[in-house]
Amino acid sequence: MTLHPEIAEFLAALPAPPEGPLDPVAMRAADEAHLPLLEERLPLHAVQDVTAKTDAGEVPVRVYTPAEADTYGLLVYFHGGAFFLGSLETHDHVARSLAQETGLRVVSVGYRLAPEAAFPAGLDDCYAAVRWAAGEDSGLDWDGATLAVAGDSSGGTFAAAVAARAHDDGFDRITHQILYYPSLDLDFDADRYPSLRENATGYGLETAGLKPFNAFYLDSGADPADPLVSPIKRTDLSGLPPALVVTAEHDPLRDEGELYGELLRAAGVAATVSRYPGAGHGFVQHFSWIPEYHRVFGETRDFLNRR
């Protein structure tokens, strides 16, 4: 299937990227320049900014409550952005849709970003936020049943790494991992996966851009050979939580996500791999208003309700 026409039209209208080295501060400002007004955002029962006091220090989180209840299943969400972009604001609409569709209380994590915060600061924040959310001191009224981790792109990297780290630590409360077009192998050799060649140019995220975009993270001490950096390199995937791996047809990262799902299944983990035709990388953040892509939130709900 060709790229969805509305996505293709949007990409064709984008200006050429500026020449020279990437400027994370300027790119963050551009990322937040066109956020929707508060009154235009999906209404929920409550949205609250909270400071989570964790073993990693104080971590800003935003809590989305879809309806009033005595207790809640929790979904802890990590935004994407190549480890140096993204924020609670840029992915606010994703967290709101997740809360509305799943009925869970969603905790979006404002983890520290590279290059200002060296590895593993961001990962530490994400992991600590999950453990905080499940604790009594968080005030989130966790029901003791559902505790999911989810993320898009680099946030999907963190979700997979957090699930693995929790398993190794004996923290067995995470019930699901949801990975939206995750970056699971930060060795960007184009010969490693066919999708790195098939989707190299013309679909938004380009293969040639992977190294410079991830350089802020890798140069801060993140080793691509480390399974906490490249979760697909973990040698034993057994015992990890059930996984939903969502991929996009026209994404350079498509094949590593789908291979990860196969490896999870081979290790005895219940894993669902779902490829979205006509989509490119980033569609959950940028194009979930298109009906055929908005259904990703319903698919997430159905996965969480599966027993």
CA distances from 120 to 73, 135, 232 (A): 28, 22, 18
Are 77 and 95 in contact by the 8 Å Cβ rule? The answer is: yes
The verdict on whether 153 is a catalytic residue reads yes
The verdict on whether 172 is a catalytic residue reads no
The verdict on whether 87 is a catalytic residue reads no
Q: Of 87, 97, 153, 183, which one is the catalytic site residue?
A: 153
Q: How many CA atoms lie within 13 A of 296 on its CB side?
A: 33
The token pair at 83 is 């480890």
Q: What are phi and psi of 89, to 5 degrees?
A: -75, -45
Q: Of 124, 125, 152, 251, which one is the catalytic site residue?
A: 251
> H or E stretch including 9?
helix 5-12
Q: How far apart are CA 145 and CA 175, in angstroms?
A: 8
Strand 72-78 to 57-65 pairing:
unpaired
Cβ-count burial of 17 within 10 angstroms (0-12 exposed, 13-18 middle, 19+ buried)?
Answer: exposed
Q: Of 4, 167, 250, 281, which one is the catalytic site residue?
A: 281
**Which are the catalytic amino acids?**
153, 251, 281
